[in-house]
Amino acid sequence: MRVLAAVDKFRGTATASQVAAAIGHACWETGHECIEVPIADGGEGTLDVLGGPNRTSRVTNPLGKPVDAQWRLSRDVAVIEMARASGLSLVGGKAKNDVIAASTIGTGELIDTALNDGAKRIIVCVGGSATVDGGLGAVRAIRSPARLHGVEFFVACDVRTRFTDAARLFGAQKGASPAHIDFLTARLHALVQTYRDEFGVDVSDLEGAGAAGGLAGGLAALGANLVPGFDLVADEVGLHELINTCDVVITGEGFVDEESFDGKVVGGVQHLATRAGKPVAAICGDAQPEQRSRLEIVSLVESFGEDAAFNQTLTSIERGAALLLKKFAR
């Protein structure tokens, strides 16, 4: 069989490339061909999937300190992962975050650098942010926003959240209290008018504008096209064509839940494979019981135990892939 391993990361235990390689090893051991294709949904890990970083720039982290942020520029295409400049991990997690003060200025500085270095196509991957500043920090950090009209400018969104819902839905994950959320929501509503007045763009009804605490909306005000992250990555890696050339498809991620089928990798790969008439299954660390009827799933926790799933992840993925290969080969 010709197997396509189109997988996301297992957060905290394995990168998408490592997961794909583990499936590839299982295929090799059982005499099958494997095409390894790491995939992402526009959030953390997307930079690695789109070629990995080849540049480093010193910018401002969410709380005003310097940080060396990696990004990519190749053949006039810049790929910026906002978490590298404005991510929650850079400030020590939500317990150490000042969500009111946290700013996306560093992401804007990376965009400005990409413009200065001659980028003609800019892809900003959002997810994992420390911020709910509506992208204002990034907008103000781009010294000549008019230059963006001369480039292809995309934001790869991993959620469909509306701009003014960003604090309510994701503020607590960034350390916001209920009072903070009320304040941040009011600030986002005010920014809608600011962007309308300054740039003539109404971000309030744009699907995905609330991604990364509203960064997507702020960049949309400057002319960025907001696109589903999975769709953008699938196009960049030629996933549609690869599915057509294979016999079976194996996808996967760390935890399969309802969100996995709403713009994320597992649901996106399943949709494309089913549309192409290809058998598809998933490997995951674990899955919600109610989701297991939607797709053939091998849960590492269920199949091999929690210790093996978390401490021997890649070996367990190989074993899980071997189980799926036997089913496919029948």
Span 277-283, average pLDDT: 97
Q: What is the CATH number of domain 2-38+247-329?
A: 3.40.50.10350
User: Residues spanned by CATH 3.40.50.10350 within the chain?
Assistant: 2-38+247-329
Determine the Cα–Cα distance for residues 108 and 103; give it in Å rounded to an integer. Answer: 10
pLDDT band, residue 292 (cuts 50/70/90) = confident
Which tokens go with 40? 């992402």
Q: Is the pLDDT of residue 165 over 90?
A: yes
| CA–centroid distance for 3 within its chain | 24
* Residue 306 confidence (pLDDT): 94
Structure confidence at residue 316 as a pLDDT band (50, 70, 90): very high
Return residue ranges of the chain for CATH 3.90.1510.10.
46-230
pLDDT digits (tens, 9 = 90+) for 81-112: 999 999 999 999 999 999 999 999 999 999 99
Token pair for 173: 């994950």
Task: Give the closest residue to 285 by CA, choosing from 320, 261, 258, 250.
Answer: 320
Q: What is the pLDDT of residue 330?
A: 76
Question: Averaged over 266-295, what is the pLDDT?
Answer: 95
What count of other Cβ atoms lies within 10 Å of the Cβ of residue 77?
A: 18
Q: How far apart are CA 324 and CA 4, in angstroms?
A: 13
| 169 has pLDDT over 80 | yes
**Predicted confidence band of residue 263 (pLDDT cuts 50, 70, 90):** confident
pLDDT of residue 158: 84
Pairing verdict, β 225-228 and 152-157: parallel
CB atoms within 10 A of CB 82: 37
DSSP assignment of 90-127: GGTSGGG--TTT---HHHHHHHHHHHHTT-SEEEEE--
- The CATH class, in words, for 46-230 is alpha beta
Q: Give pLDDT tens digits for 184-231.
A: 999 999 999 999 999 999 999 999 999 999 999 999 999 999 999 999
